[in-house]
Structure 1
Amino acid sequence: MTSPAVDPAPEAHKATPASRTDTTAAPARRITGTVWAALGVVYVVWGSTYLGIRIAVETMPPFLSSGARFVTAGLLLAGIIAWRQGPAALKVTRRQLGSAVLIGLLLIPGGNGLVVLAETSIPSGLAALLIAVVPAWVVILRAATGERPGLGAVGGVLLGLVGLAVLTLPGLSGDVKIGGVVLVVVATLLWSVGSFSSSRLPMPANPFTASAYEMVAGGLAGLLIGVVRGEQHGLDLTAISGRSWAALAYLILFGSLLAFTSYAWLLQAAPLSLVATYAYVNPVVAVLLGALVLNEALTWPLLLGGAVVVGGVCLIVSTERRG
């Protein structure tokens, strides 16, 4: 699956389990070259979306822009699926649709939406680095359901938590708004629950179809939240900058269609603890882009915390490769 969202071909569908109606824990999954290619997309492209979000919210309301992003991407993906595989590929059972909607609500307005809101008050690099807590939640959820994560995974999580502690220092000292930091941490919990649950619910067999329904449902919820928050009041589309429009277009085409769909596929095709390592790599990309494009400061907590969490990914990846 080298271009999962652009070309959701049947061959890519065959790489996934034939059915997601079994709610028992999935067996060990072999880490193929296709998995690594999809993981690379999530690593790099999603790392750049933090910069895109920061630029978009310069002149766009957070939840309305996030909701519009995912509704548009979801409808585009559904159209591509219908074109490439036929309308029948979009058919799902009521239970599968309900599961996809639930996961979409957790991942998009819960996980992504809160991060977008947080980036109105904190730097994009810091927001990305705070996402490092995701693997910690995943390991806790796995342990709560009776699984026993390996020592490497546990060690990687502990390193990530140490890095997270270092990264919160600017917020505690008043250099950034602690409210934004809290929003990101809550977002990581909701995102982790959604990611963890997706492999245990009766999801559509085609991961691209699941992704389309998740994005549309989550995007509509984001738009509703934006309206409830009153983001539409005083909104002047002519006042939105060209670079914010460009950032939104990038988020739709690359952040949602390409990277989010890759992530949805990985949730069904790869070990969850391996998929969660994107949370360690994305920050490196985000911090570098934030510094280069937006001149965000590279403070010692960012550099030290980033180095610690990147060390964590090495432990988790090496553990999964031996599994």
Structure 2
Amino acid sequence: MSKALLTKLLAYFMIYIVWGSNFIAIAFAIQSIPPFLTIALRFLLAGLFFFLISKRGNYSLAVCREGVITGFFLNILGTGALAWSVQYIPSGVAAVIVAAIPIWMILLDFGSLQKNLRNPRLVIALLLGVSSILLISLTRGSFVVATSSTQFFLSLTVLIGGTLAWSYGSLYSKRLPARGSLIAFLAVQMTSAGAGLLVISLMIEELHTLNLTVITQKSWLALLYLIVFGSILGYLSYVWLLRNVEPVKVGFYALVNPVIAIFLGWWLADEIITPSILAGTSFVLLAVLLIHARQYSRIKTTAK
């Protein structure tokens, strides 16, 4: 096996498998570490690492402004909402909701909205995405234990809001002009987001209730895993693949992540897999597949 092929396979493994395991890792980390503090530490430390390896990166005012804005929508509102919600929603179910991000990006892409809504394939994808969320919402009693209806629907609403923020942030970052090192951009994005999440943690007094003596080894290891594999190696792999592989092929991780998350939630945390979860997952995956299949066919047509 050539070195180039091995590098590509490892990079795919990071975004297809490791990113799918981020959901259960977050669930384990917040068992004894407050959720916003968990994510703040994750992004602060990963961001500082990216600063160290990009000493000569472009840190102009424009890069810093764009990195902060991207970090606000993706990491503070997006990942922050995920970490808070996983307190009350099984990690596998959360992964299914997050998998709908490509669907929301269609709705939030206002410049192409009318064109998208005239495409039957994309309309079907939208209907499937909405149906999956309705199915999960209406059957919450079949898989959520020790969580009140109020907690469940509030956390579901927060998580959906987080996915909308992530979708908007993704569209925003996609339209940014190339300004040099992506690693430098990630350094600004993650460090600023980590700082913002730390402020939120302080504002809601998470540190006042924090007791270092009760933090379990499982939570420490999960946090370390999120920093090293979920953020540093995961994002480096993602950036490398975007530069060396067709973006549509990279984007198919959205199909694999929820399956990995549901399996790991069942295997490691005894999360229940019900017919409603399987049906909701199938709807979302089919919707994402329709979206990516359209993009892939468009690229092949252009290549001809």
Whether TM exceeds 0.5 here: the answer is: yes
Amino acid in the other structure paired with 2:83: V
Compared CA separation, residues 217 and 203, structure 1 to 2 (3 A): farther
CA deviations on 1:206-226 (whole Å, 9 max, x unpaired) are 222211211111111011100
* Aligned Cα root-mean-square deviation (Å): 3.0
Q: 2:42 aligns with which of 69, 90, 105?
A: 69
CA distance in 1: counterparts of 2:174 and 2:264, whole angstroms? 32
Q: State the identity %.
A: 33
Cα shift at 1:322 = 1.4
- Report what 1:128 is aligned to: 95
Query: How many residues of Structure 1 are paired with residues of Structure 2 in the alignment?
Result: 288
Cα shift at 1:301 = 1.3
- Report what 2:65 is aligned to: 98
Moved more, 266-275 or 114-123: 266-275
Alignment of 1:212-251 (within 5 A): 212-251=187-226
State yes or no: 1:119 paired with 2:86. yes
Amino acid in the other structure paired with 1:145: G
- Report what 1:30 is aligned to: none
Asked if 2 retains the 8 angstrom alpha-carbon contact of 1:129 and 1:167, the reply is no
Question: Secondary structure in 2 aligned to 1:100?
Answer: helix
Amino acid in the other structure paired with 1:195: S
Compared CA separation, residues 272 and 230, structure 1 to 2 (3 A): farther
Asked if 2 retains the 8 angstrom alpha-carbon contact of 1:135 and 1:273, the reply is no
CA distance in 2: counterparts of 1:94 and 1:167, whole angstroms? 43
- Report what 1:164 is aligned to: 133
- Report what 2:112 is aligned to: 146
CA distance in 1: counterparts of 2:123 and 2:10, whole angstroms? 25
Cα shift at 1:199 = 1.9
Asked if 2 retains the 8 angstrom alpha-carbon contact of 1:129 and 1:306, the reply is yes
Asked if 2 retains the 8 angstrom alpha-carbon contact of 1:38 and 1:263, the reply is yes
- Report what 1:257 is aligned to: 232
CA distance in 2: counterparts of 1:180 and 1:267, whole angstroms? 32
Moved more, 40-49 or 242-251: 40-49
CA distance in 1: counterparts of 2:255 and 2:130, whole angstroms? 11
Query: Gaps spanning 5+ residues in structure 1: where?
Result: 4-10, 12-32
For normalisation by structure 2, the TM-score amounts to: 0.84
CA distance in 2: counterparts of 1:54 and 1:77, whole angstroms? 25
Moved more, 304-313 or 239-248: 304-313
Q: Hey, which of these two has a bigger chunk of helix by percent? A: 2
CA distance in 1: counterparts of 2:137 and 2:37, whole angstroms? 28
- Report what 2:301 is aligned to: none
Compared CA separation, residues 306 and 154, structure 1 to 2 (3 A): same
Q: 1:285 aligns with which of 236, 260, 264?
A: 260
